[in-house]
Structure 1
């Protein structure tokens, strides 16, 4: 007896070609999953969609299937050098590789390419020369190709932004908007179909929707209220201190708010600052720094060490934090009020682990008072102003630590 899910997802309910069905069956897919069932028709019909879906729910197929069927239902353009019809933007190279693989498993006719940073340009340029139908990539590398006039996006028909919340976390908001800018004309009827997939829907998702989507987009919630992650509560504190004081105070702040075993990320503006803070003698915890001069490979090793608890404090420049999959931590410290409020909101979201209150601290100098107010206004938060930890606070925190 077929389950409800299998009945709803039966291949015969969807305009799937026999070729596609054979490829699905070969991969052991017997019917479409709920996320694919719900999104197939709207995507196939060309509607703009915001879908709230978790990774690992078969979400890639939910956009790959209808898009492939749609492209294959018209006669193929096999010209060399043809510009992609589908652009899929994803936050990490791992995801890019995975998504491209999912697309490749569904079609023998279309050319699929996967572009991410750290890979040689030459192979990517060769693929562009021979022509691409579906391009999957990370924002940085795609933007490079556009700037070097190697990638033409004005004829893209479908744009997918996958794991949008994650792209925000990683500081890609600006790059994503620059890329979209090259394929959308304001108010034009011929703008690409836009599909946004995200586990959570931060405000930026709706800002993007307003800017780039048709007014009547479909919103599909595949997470549902039942399984929502408990909204983590984050406490935002602001501590006024002079820049000369910063290094000395940092160790105490971490001791009081995170303890010697908690994980802390400190964001600062410059490489010099990151190095100075990491080498700073008053820091009682093990710290390592991440900045632009550190090669990609070493950054990944450092990040892995931080994830695995080899050291407790990561000090990163705002720029180096872009494109990093930052793990969840106990405390986030910004050394000065952030210019990029979206990234701040998301970074602060890395703190509340498993229902505990997360803490996000912003250090500011007296002259930055206005900047702080701007952040409050834009992020819709209120900073609780607290003083620099006193000696008593530090001693109390240390003895609590010892009890743990």
Structure 2
């Protein structure tokens, strides 16, 4: 459930939240957030979960599943128990973005429950803060399967007292190759725990999980009723995260808009992005849950009267915001709930007016884009990154308009004409040069035109470049850059390279685990993987030859089966061919005692860390 899912103006047909039996503190938080009627999945799921039943919820992304399990979990927490004894609830999510979103939702719903400790655990984040929080004790852990497995292998996460386990987007986790990790986690938790499994579909693997690990679950199926307004033009731009600010800046320059709401995921991001836009010359204000009511009213008033054009907001802060001037909505951060998407873009195109909705989609968020299109029965048109020429054409047109408007002010023109003539006569300078100098002074802080320098390639540009490589370089040069013999992907045609990771058969890894871990941490798609060869102590994986430095950096701390993969380009076979010698460097350390000679050192699992 997003923060805006229950803003549907239609009267409630089912129970209200205060009729569901939620704990007082949880109910107070829900009411403080302005929610009145639960969505269909919430109304059907919360009562059996509060009663202690296992549940299988079949619903599309965006139907309000987060609140459907978060509210009953928080209501049933034992707040008198010492959190240092281990978490009471664990929520597994397929990606770090969803894990963060779910964790933020838990924080909001727990706002009236004093002392509740929540911890998101996901890859790409340092272990230090996670280990510190776990030592202090937490009530609820929200994490991705890979990182949860890492902590289990290290013995830094104790699930022996777990009471609630939630599998969110279970089908997505299985498709990413986390099936074995999920089953390992399920098997290592108490048999008495309560399990909630949520999935958009019910493939055979999900059915088997349900039958094996859930106790007579109640199966609930709900279909989303969200639909987008036909008056809204919906587009998306493929963009990497670091490019978002530049992309938004160019869109603000080339789009003809009156008022705009830019949606971000967190309160801190509203302030940061609004400040960046103001630094680039755009009038923007932040609107979030921490903004006092009088300040909010002033911002909304400025948006209505045209003294402010851009508001950067969270879902909660934009609730009930209905301003006729809003012609554009930008999803700077794509929502993980499809109904939240509908409510966001519904801020424009009201009462028969037309509107525009633009969504920024990072490569790893393609599945969210597909979910939005599928669940809302719509298609978003892909737009191209606004070019330097387009931006300059708009700037020149606006500059022309300013000149034309100034020429209509006859009295001011006469006064400045005398000044220009005086300067031109006394300095022997052409009047047109004086006018150009005045324009230069006018744009001293920022040049009128962007320089025609090589632009930062977009994601789609890089995809095209991979398909349009020049002639193959010499063998030595290919080896240097990692283009292994000119191999190309059968799916995309892009050049592939062979990378080496330090996990193999003795670590009991399978190709799906490798694909799931690298895809999740590196933001890759299935089509980016080629052949995978699992050797005794290591594995060889074909990936795009020109992996971005930020992608490689994000994979530095990735673990599979508790072991760092240490991704690097494979150097190929040693001269002379054949198998490498027995003393190659990829072995695990050997025990020093005679009895253990030749055996790999084993790590103890699931030991509680000493204080």
TM-score (norm 2): 0.39
Is the contact made by 1:292 and 1:319 (CA closer than 8 Å) also made in structure 2? no
Aligned to 1:375: none
Q: Is 1:98 aligned to residue 98 of structure 2?
A: no
Aligned to 1:123: 129
Aligned to 2:138: 132
Secondary structure of the structure 1 residue equivalent to 2:198:
strand
Secondary structure of the structure 2 residue equivalent to 1:105:
helix
Deviation by residue 1:177-206 (Cα, 9 ceiling, x = unmatched): 111111145xxxx2x111110111111111
Is the contact made by 1:9 and 1:33 (CA closer than 8 Å) also made in structure 2? no
- Structure 1 residues 70 and 291, CA, compared in 2 at 3 Å: closer, same or farther? farther
Aligned to 2:80: 76
Mapping for residues 1-400 of structure 1, pairs under 5 Å: 6-71=12-77, 74=78, 76-77=80-81, 79=82, 81-107=84-110, 108-109=113-114, 110-185=116-191, 190=192, 192-214=193-215, 216-223=216-223, 279-280=486-487, 285-288=493-496, 291=499, 320-323=514-517, 324=519, 335=531
Instruction: Note the aligned Cα RMSD (angstroms).
Output: 3.8
Secondary structure of the structure 2 residue equivalent to 1:183:
coil
Task: Give the Cα–Cα distance (whole angstroms) in 2 for the partners of residues 206 and 104 of structure 1.
Answer: 31
Return the offset for 1:143. Answer: 0.9
Is the contact made by 2:487 and 2:496 (CA closer than 8 Å) also made in structure 1? no
Task: Give the Cα–Cα distance (whole angstroms) in 1 for the partners of residues 177 and 15 of structure 2.
Answer: 37
Task: Give the Cα–Cα distance (whole angstroms) in 2 for the partners of residues 281 and 56 of structure 1.
Answer: 37
Return the offset for 1:5. Answer: 5.8
Secondary structure of the structure 2 residue equivalent to 1:286:
coil
Consecutive unaligned residues of structure 2, counting only runs of 5 or more, are 1-7, 228-370, 376-462, 468-478, 503-510, 535-611
TM-score (norm 1): 0.57
How many residue pairs match? The answer is 266
Secondary structure of the structure 2 residue equivalent to 1:160:
strand
Is the contact made by 1:5 and 1:34 (CA closer than 8 Å) also made in structure 2? no
- Structure 1 residues 290 and 169, CA, compared in 2 at 3 Å: closer, same or farther? farther
Task: Give the Cα–Cα distance (whole angstroms) in 2 for the partners of residues 328 and 61 of structure 1.
Answer: 29
Task: Give the Cα–Cα distance (whole angstroms) in 2 for the partners of residues 175 and 332 of structure 1.
Answer: 22
Task: Give the Cα–Cα distance (whole angstroms) in 2 for the partners of residues 220 and 282 of structure 1.
Answer: 41
Aligned to 1:342: none
Task: Give the Cα–Cα distance (whole angstroms) in 2 for the partners of residues 50 and 5 of structure 1.
Answer: 28
Task: Give the Cα–Cα distance (whole angstroms) in 2 for the partners of residues 163 and 128 of structure 1.
Answer: 25
Range moving further from structure 2, 80-89 or 135-144? 80-89
Task: Give the Cα–Cα distance (whole angstroms) in 2 for the partners of residues 336 and 24 of structure 1.
Answer: 48
Deviation by residue 1:265-286 (Cα, 9 ceiling, x = unmatched): xxxxxxx9xx666833898933
Structure of larger gyration radius: 2
Task: Give the Cα–Cα distance (whole angstroms) in 2 for the partners of residues 282 and 35 of structure 1.
Answer: 41
Range moving further from structure 2, 100-109 or 155-164? 100-109
Is the contact made by 2:49 and 2:55 (CA closer than 8 Å) also made in structure 1? yes
Task: Give the Cα–Cα distance (whole angstroms) in 1 for the partners of residues 101 and 212 of structure 2.
Answer: 29
- Structure 1 residues 333 and 29, CA, compared in 2 at 3 Å: closer, same or farther? same
Task: Give the Cα–Cα distance (whole angstroms) in 1 for the partners of residues 225 and 13 of structure 2.
Answer: 24
Task: Give the Cα–Cα distance (whole angstroms) in 1 for the partners of residues 485 and 92 of structure 2.
Answer: 34
- Structure 1 residues 318 and 63, CA, compared in 2 at 3 Å: closer, same or farther? closer
Consecutive unaligned residues of structure 1, counting only runs of 5 or more, are 231-259, 265-271, 295-316, 339-404
- Structure 1 residues 292 and 6, CA, compared in 2 at 3 Å: closer, same or farther? farther
- Structure 1 residues 148 and 220, CA, compared in 2 at 3 Å: closer, same or farther? same
Task: Give the Cα–Cα distance (whole angstroms) in 1 for the partners of residues 31 and 225 of structure 2.
Answer: 33
- Structure 1 residues 204 and 285, CA, compared in 2 at 3 Å: closer, same or farther? closer
- Structure 1 residues 40 and 281, CA, compared in 2 at 3 Å: closer, same or farther? closer
Task: Give the Cα–Cα distance (whole angstroms) in 2 for the partners of residues 66 and 211 of structure 1.
Answer: 23
Aligned to 2:569: none
Is the contact made by 1:82 and 1:133 (CA closer than 8 Å) also made in structure 2? no
Is the contact made by 1:49 and 1:196 (CA closer than 8 Å) also made in structure 2? yes
Task: Give the Cα–Cα distance (whole angstroms) in 1 for the partners of residues 98 and 75 of structure 2.
Answer: 22
Secondary structure of the structure 1 residue equivalent to 2:12:
helix
Secondary structure of the structure 1 residue equivalent to 2:94:
coil
- Structure 1 residues 160 and 80, CA, compared in 2 at 3 Å: closer, same or farther? closer
Secondary structure of the structure 2 residue equivalent to 1:6:
coil
Secondary structure of the structure 2 residue equivalent to 1:322:
helix
